[in-house]
Amino acid sequence: MSVTSVEKDPESLTMTVMADLDATVERAWQLWADPRQFERWWGPPGYPTTVVDHDLRAGGRITFFMTGPEGERHDSTWEVVAADPPRYLELRDADVDDDGRPNDGNAMTAFMITIDERDGGGAVMAIRTHFDSLAGMENVLATGVEEGMRIVFSQIDAVLAGTPA
């Protein structure tokens, strides 16, 4: 998969990552719809993802955690706001503690994922992240999330090819 652009718009509090995939729209949707596939590409190398709950329909919830190299656990939960397979998914996100409460006042964000056919074959996946505040956006961007997204998306090729990540 090739990240083709990353656009940050502080006025609209958004960051949009666009990537080309060598897959059909339906196959690209499976990267989100199948929790085992999702585990293989979401999260940076060295931080394996484990999906706990995966209900990919409006009103559903996805909970997962990443385990760091020192055994530290990073929990997340996403509320599924909207799902229109295989082209659109909207999620509300927050890093949470073991009781499901947001950690350290992190800004809640929303993700809008679109998957469309690419001219000449394949698919285009766009992930637009919407931040609740400019301060929240600046804090998240300062953590290196743009580079992190590029790394995470680079792992999709192995999943699409059916090879180990």
Percent of the chain whose pLDDT exceeds 90: 65
The SS3 of residue 25 is: helix
Distance CA 92, CA 106 (A): 13
| CATH number assigned to the domain covering 2-161 | 3.30.530.20
pLDDT digits (tens, 9 = 90+) for 68-121: 999 999 888 899 999 999 999 999 986 666 665 666 555 668 999 999 999 999
| Whole-prediction pTM | 0.88
Residue of higher predicted confidence among 143 and 100: 143
The SS3 of residue 118 is: coil
Give whole-number Cα distances, 137 to 2, 4, 13, in Å.
24, 21, 7
Mean pLDDT value across the chain: 89
pLDDT digits (tens, 9 = 90+) for 6-53: 999 999 999 999 999 999 999 999 999 999 999 999 988 899 999 999
Let me know how long the chain is: 165
What is residue 132's predicted lDDT score, i.e. its pLDDT?
Answer: 87
CB 78 within 8 A of CB 57: no
